[in-house]
Amino acid sequence: MKTFTTAASDFTTISNDAAAANATLGKSLINIGTRKILAMRDWLFFRGQRAYTSIASTQAYALPDNCWRVYGIKSYDGSLYYYPKEIRDRKIWVNLNRTTVSSNIPQYFFVDEIAKKFEVWPIPTSTAVTYYLYFGKKFVDMTSSNDYTTGTVSIPLASTTATGVTGVFTAAMVGRYLLLNDFRNEIVGYTSGTVITVANQVAVAVSGASTDIAECIPLPDGFEDLPLWFALWQYYLKREKARDSAKAYKEMFDVGVADLIGRDSKSVSSVFESQADMQPINPNQDPYSLELS
């Protein structure tokens, strides 16, 4: 686990130049390296999940701020799981919704990229359904110069709700990480200045722990130095007398990326299999003209 602050500090230390301009360059190169890695493939480790509780007579729900693309949805009504199919064609979706159909068993969903929402069909009738959205994450350049370390934080056992004392949480902290006992837990929701939501339930209750919120390199443990190796490779590449150093850091970066690909290929994905474009039956169509296949 490495924070952006630590990686930026390592850059100035290794390059032996703590000048403000070099520090800024290091942060920029670390972000570029991170983007380069994340753009190489559809990494399994860079996917997220978000749970939503249905709202009676409500069809659309906001996508997470860090959602890059939606892979699938499943729903749970308290006894059974359902896996609605995606409709990608807006015209088909509009035609399907010309007649209001209500049910807690979803058959289709549609992602509205303009409104940044996903919609389900039929429309739920109560709050009895939980929708699980599976998505690929969007990377936003890391900018924070310092971790936020004001106050204390507590999280009940098996909970994702973190309550702060003395410190003040902000909406800008969503996407950063709460660091506890050498583990990082992504902040996925902001409720108030004293309450935030983290991605994973804690296995051990946290009470009065020192707050430490930071931007972290979004790579698995053991691979967080890859953006730093990329930054140093590019830094020394511009210096004629340091080409050997550039070559060494490039080799470290390439070997690390190859190992990361090997690790990711062995991962088990909970994301749904790809599907062909759906052509659902239009409920407004004359039933005598329907052709079943």
Q: Tokens at residue 189, please?
A: 């929701």
Mean pLDDT for the chain? 91
Look at residues 139, 158, 188 and tell me which one is the last residue of a structural domain: 139
Indicate whether 79 and 128 sit together in one domain: yes
Indicate whether 52 and 123 sit together in one domain: yes
Residue 107 placed within a domain? yes
Look at residues 96, 111, 139 and tell me which one is the last residue of a structural domain: 139
Angle at 60 between CA 55 and CA 64, to 5 degrees: 100
Higher pLDDT, 35 or 147: 35
Indicate whether 135 and 151 sit together in one domain: no
Residue 18 placed within a domain? no
Which one-letter amino acid corresponds to residue 40? M
Which one-letter amino acid corresponds to residue 102? S
Residue 274 placed within a domain? no
Q: Max Cα separation, the chain?
A: 81
Whether residue 288 is predicted with pLDDT greater than 90 in this model: the reply is: no
Indicate whether 55 and 125 sit together in one domain: yes
End-to-end CA distance of the chain: 53
Q: What is the CA radius of gyration of the chain?
A: 23
Of the pLDDT bands very low, low, confident and very high (cuts 50, 70, 90), residue 276 is low
Give the percent of the chain with pLDDT over 90.
83
The DSSP string of 246-268 is HHHHHHHHHHHHHHHHHHHHTSP
Look at residues 214, 236, 259 and tell me which one is the last residue of a structural domain: 214
- pLDDT tens-digit map of 222-267: 999 999 999 999 999 999 899 999 999 999 999 999 999 999 987 6
Q: pTM for the whole thing? A: 0.84
Residue 273 placed within a domain? no
Domain span at 195: 147-214
Domain count, the chain: 2
Indicate whether 181 and 158 sit together in one domain: yes
Indicate whether 70 and 129 sit together in one domain: yes
Residue 289 placed within a domain? no
Spatial separation of the C-alpha atoms in residues 211 and 205, rounded to whole Å: 15
Residue 223 placed within a domain? no
Of the pLDDT bands very low, low, confident and very high (cuts 50, 70, 90), residue 284 is low
Indicate whether 98 and 159 sit together in one domain: no
- pLDDT tens-digit map of 135-166: 999 999 999 778 999 999 999 999 999 999 98
